[in-house]
Amino acid sequence: MNAATQLSRWSSSTVKKANPGILGRILLVAYCLIPFYWMAVSSFRRSSDIFEKSAFPSPWSLENYRAVLAPDSGFLRAMLNSVIVAGATTILTLIIATFAAYALARLEFRFKNVLLAVVIGTSMFPGIALVVPMLKLFSNTLQWVNTYQAMILPSMSFALPLAVWNLTAFFRQLPRELEQAAMVDGCTPGQAFRKVIIPLTAPGVFTTAILTFISAWNEFIIALSMVNVSSMQTATVAIARFGGSSGFDIPYGTKMAAGVLVTVPLVIMVLVFQRRIIAGLTAGAVK
């Protein structure tokens, strides 16, 4: 009886200790998923049922998705524009940030820490404060309004500081002896960087690429300000500009369906590459 009593007390205390952790995870997951769930459910409601509060649509309807994917809506073109802008921003940001971060991690020069502080400080400027000068530059001087570069370059300016900062930390974790050993074996500094350092920092580079792509994919202010023709607008701008049957009608169902279509690619990408993302975020955490 004593052993059974002790076992029951131990199991009850273990459950009590575990419950707060499990409950916290459930609340966190619910907090993150409930808005997306409600958006997905609302996207399958008819326009007349959009304000219903039931957990599931009744009846299920695809009219919102048909409206979004209709050729005259222009949403597919907007999705393609988002892919082009986010992809180009990610590639160019990684190329520049990789070389800049390697130089900051390996070269010794005066005011290096000050330069790093300036780099990360530039990411703290609110985007809305930079829209007006950029719009004036692109419209009056460069004639770049309604072009891809008018969206890609400003997005790069916001993505580069964080990318440089993250990659600098990854390069600093690698011992200098790796490059020295490669050069002893006959590699030039460039070959040592390309064949030894880059493969070892692949988790960090991949994580930075994912974060940069997500940031560029969700960007709204720059795309809204630099483009005023429907053929060049991105998906986020297209969602904001969806109109209803009248000037005072807000097409909630259509916006919900478009929001699902914009979010699903990011969710799939994160689920497919979650191991690489976790490896990149935790690299160097354990010696």
Q: 279: which 2 tokens?
A: 């490896």
Alpha helix (H) residue ranges in the chain: 2-43, 63-68, 75-106, 112-122, 127-136, 149-173, 177-184, 189-192, 198-200, 202-217, 221-226, 235-240, 252-272, 274-282
Placement of tokens 């986010």 in the chain? 86
Whether residue 166 sits in one domain with residue 85? yes
C-alpha to C-alpha distance for 11 and 182, rounded to whole angstroms: 56
Q: Looking at the domain assignment, is residue 133 inside a domain?
A: yes
Does 236 fall in a domain? yes
Radius of gyration for the alpha carbons in the chain, expressed in angstroms and rounded: 25
Asked whether residue 231 falls in the same domain as residue 119, the answer is: yes
Cis amide bond preceding 133, omega within 30? no
Quote the CA–CA distance of 216 and 213 in Å, as a whole number. 5
Q: What is the pLDDT of residue 117?
A: 86
pLDDT for 95-132, tens place per residue?
Answer: 999 999 998 888 888 888 888 888 888 888 888 888 88
- The verdict on 132 and 95 lying in the same domain is yes
Say whether both 80 and 145 belong to one domain. yes
48 and 93 together in one domain: no
Residue 260 lies in a domain: no
Q: Place 38 in a pLDDT band, splitting at 50, 70 and 90.
A: very high
- Say yes or no: 26 and 86 in one domain: no
Based on the fold, state whether residues 37 and 89 are members of the same structural domain: no
CATH number at residue 80: 1.10.3720.10
Instruction: Give residue-wise pLDDT tens across range 122-164.
Output: 888 888 888 888 888 998 888 899 999 999 999 998 899 989 9
pTM, full prediction = 0.83
Of 216 and 109, the one with more pLDDT: 216
In a domain, 270, yes or no: no
Number of structural domains the chain divides into: 2
Residue that is last in its domain, among 32, 63, 94 = 63
Q: Are residues 236 and 98 in the same domain?
A: yes
* Statement: residue 18 has pLDDT above 60: no
Q: Is 188 contained in some domain? A: yes
Query: Which span out of 147-156, 191-200, 242-251 was modeled with the highest average pLDDT?
Result: 147-156
Q: Which of 130, 138, 137, 117 lies closest to 157 in space, CA to CA?
A: 130
In a domain, 233, yes or no: yes
195: number of Cβ within 10 Å: 11
Q: Which of 40, 44, 76, 38 is nearest to 57 (CA)?
A: 44
Confidence at residue 243, expressed as pLDDT on a 0 to 100 scale:
74
The residue segments making up the domain with residue 7 are: 2-63
